[in-house]
Amino acid sequence: MFWGTLTARVSAVAGTVLTGFPLLAPLVLGVIFAVGSGRFLFDFLIPGELFFVVVAGALLLVLATVILRRLRVAAGILTAATIVTFFATDLVSQATGLSDGRTAPEGWPLFWVMSVYALYVLSVVGLFVLGILVCRVAFSRAERAVPSAVPPAEQGLEPSGEGDGRPAT
């Protein structure tokens, strides 16, 4: 039981950090660049560039949810949505001609590619929120499983003779 709880906790925290890093990296790098140059630049493509980091975090979250037996469906759906929308972004960019430069990056082709990419980023945000929820479950379940340090007699319970801590009848 201890190793399962420990594995779930480590997987939940690591998965949350790995899924949150691509979301926070553009902000942190933008602030660092703004301090140095005086201009704030936001690279919104970083979550897509760090796709494998997101997938690693998603797989760790799936492992944690399987061990905890909670939020498994949400983890599976969000992981699948993240992977599908990432590759759908590439497929839409190829279909519209934006990936090879046949089409200018404007109008409806750009709208469709950016819309699918926005869905990808939303699914990564969903994974990050799921990671926070999984961390809450992982750490709260372990606290409830710890037996009380107060002896049964101090809780107002008299041992019934069977050693189970029930009130005497």
Any domain includes 167? no
Any domain includes 66? yes
Q: pTM, whole model, 2 decimals?
A: 0.79
- The 10s digit of each residue's pLDDT in 80-101 is 999 999 999 999 999 999 989 8
Instruction: Considering only residues 141 and 35, tell me which one the structure prediction assigns the higher pLDDT.
Output: 35
Any domain includes 168? no
Any domain includes 129? yes
| Summary mean pLDDT of the chain | 87
Return the percentage of the chain with pLDDT > 70, whole number: 82
What secondary structure does DSSP assign to 64-113, as a single string? HHHHHTSSHHHHHHHHHHHHHHHHHHHHHHHHHTTTTTSS-S-HHHHHHH
Helix (H) or strand (E) holding 153: none
Range of the domain at 24: 2-145
Q: Within 10 A of 104 (CB to CB), how many other CB atoms are there?
A: 10
Q: What is the pLDDT of residue 24?
A: 96
Q: What is the pLDDT of residue 165?
A: 56
State the total domains in the chain. Answer: 1
The letter for the amino acid at 21 is F
